[in-house]
Chain A
């Protein structure tokens, strides 16, 4: 009876693609069904699928496995589908079909990529996420969103190309396209690593996140924050678990984005920097590669998707009602948007890993794994990042948006469907923190862990409370960076300023070179031109009509010449 469950047609990804089609052609009244109902049904389907490799399809002379169900892919698929349903609810009030279609195609591609059992399938869905997601930026329909979208797409496509070339080299070297542990032993492995690294926001490759995410629509940014980067984390966990290089890379990622976040004015960009920092925790965990660490990475991905999605939802609601998320213009919104304020605070507490909130039970697994492996330096780096995380986004986002100075905005509370989505996500953030057993039971590897020991709870509370105290003192002393309008240079400077400037200089120098050459020509112009005209002009030797006999003679001469040269 359940034979079809093993076929490619049973893919939850296809269900989402089908929902996208339905959203495109059915009246708006039914959209809720497709946006929320189908991802929920696909979630049930995912859990109905038996473990193992299914959905074999022949393509390009290879057997592709489109449905690999195991602990790791099931957990990632489940959180992607759950968050697709939540964001669907959040975006119900959006009339723009384009955004709904794009987000369903995007979510479907991400789920398909997670369930891919081979690198070719992964590549196809990998590109699917890039092409569908850019419409969530373009849907803002401003000139800047268009420019940013093009930049975003270029970087995503570069990642896809690296994956494709890496896959080809890897297949030539090993004869296999299976997507399992890849390692860095071959050129193919390195290219695939780089491809994953771009999407995971490795240092210096990260800036597309902060460039693009804050420029998408209210709904689009929430959707964007979920899939691409966590898909990359999944891919790293699948292909490069235990790769030592990931530990220093991740450690750098946990710190430097937070310094940028401290001085960033656009609160959705602040969140994008903090997203980058949280990816660092997962990258470190994958680098450690022990069962506990990998479980920590998986658990943190789940917790992170929920609380970061929630924070982006609240800032989306602010943007929707107020028209800006620039901290320099915001303040005092708790009077107008009390529910959104509460949801934002819940998201911030979950993000700061306050005990009884989601990140506490996941981040501590990573910290614990580092402790058990005696990696003192990285352990301290991550502890520092966790302390700073209490300030950005923990305090900065809710405080400057909803409290601080009353800027006089008297707006309506967020639309009901947004509140519902934020409420549900907030509840999940708390539920994961209060009942971590449910999440731990879904984790892919065998490792027992208890986050709630007395010493651990008090240590964490000390860290956070004293970080908050430092903030209060800095704020009272007016030392906390003021919210100033402006932008901050990041690595995007290289391709937005330096590279174009270099190209412009090259263009100018080639123009001047051309002018000089032309000058030489024009001085001796008449002589050169006369010669050219005599050879190639209308009456020139080359333009004459030759008889067949002469042509034949020349052919014979040339052939004779060849003969002489060859002997």
Chain B
């Protein structure tokens, strides 16, 4: 470590990060478009619906993240909750530096 940590702007707020984000969106659209071009082999039937996998991928992450956000206040504790934190952290009175 040659320098102490400094906070710089979040990556996505930088212009450069918009390019990969846009590329991802384009890939997503192409993959949905590809649905017209190939024959599906569903195991059950419901997995053959248009955009089924896209919907599952998208909805799963949204729901799981919202669930996790609900869970955090319930189970989140200070690093020294069990009295086993490293000495430097044990002395912190409040939550340490956060991300946001």
Contact = CB atoms under 8 A, between A and B. Distances in A.
Interface of A: 142-144, 147-148, 258-260, 262-263, 321-323, 327-329, 332, 370-372, 374, 376, 379-380, 383-384, 387-388, 390-391, 403-411, 453-456, 458-472, 474-476, 478-490, 496-497
Interface residues of B, number: 66
A488 B71 CA distance: 10
Contacts of A461: 27, 31
5 contacts: A263-B72, A404-B11, A409-B2, A465-B31, A485-B89
Contacts of B77: 486-489
A455 B72 contact: no
A483 B4 CA distance: 19
A463 B57 contact: yes
A481 B64 contact: no
A453 B7 CA distance: 46
Given A411-B2, A458-B34, 20 more contacts: A143-B84, A263-B72, A374-B43, A406-B6, A409-B3, A409-B5, A411-B1, A455-B38, A458-B38, A462-B51, A465-B57, A469-B58, A472-B12, A484-B76, A484-B99, A485-B79, A485-B96, A486-B76, A486-B81, A496-B82
A470 B44 contact: no
A476 B25 CA distance: 14
A461 B62 CA distance: 18
A100 to B, nearest CB: 26
Nearest to A488: B75
Contacts of A478: 100
Contacts of A260: 71
A143 B78 CA distance: 19
Given A259-B67, A462-B32, A384 B75 contact: no
Contacts of B78: 486-487
B72 to A, nearest CB: 5
Given A455-B39, A469-B24, A462 B68 contact: no
Given A384-B56, A478-B100, A486-B76, A405 B86 contact: no
A497 B40 CA distance: 52
A410 B3 CA distance: 7
B82 A486 contact: no
Contacts of B51: 462
A488 B76 contact: yes
Nearest to B82: A496
A403 B9 CA distance: 11
A265 to B, nearest CB: 9
B25 A479 contact: no
A387 B60 contact: yes
A474 B59 CA distance: 12
Contacts of A323: 1
Contact of B100 (A263, A454, A482, A487): A482
A439 B95 CA distance: 48
Given A404-B10, A458-B34, A463 B56 contact: yes
Q: List the 5 shortest-distance A-B pairs measured between CB atoms, nearest first.
A: A371-B43, A485-B96, A470-B61, A466-B57, A262-B68
B56 A332 contact: no
A462 B54 contact: yes
Contacts of B39: 455
B84 A489 contact: no
Nearest to B65: A474
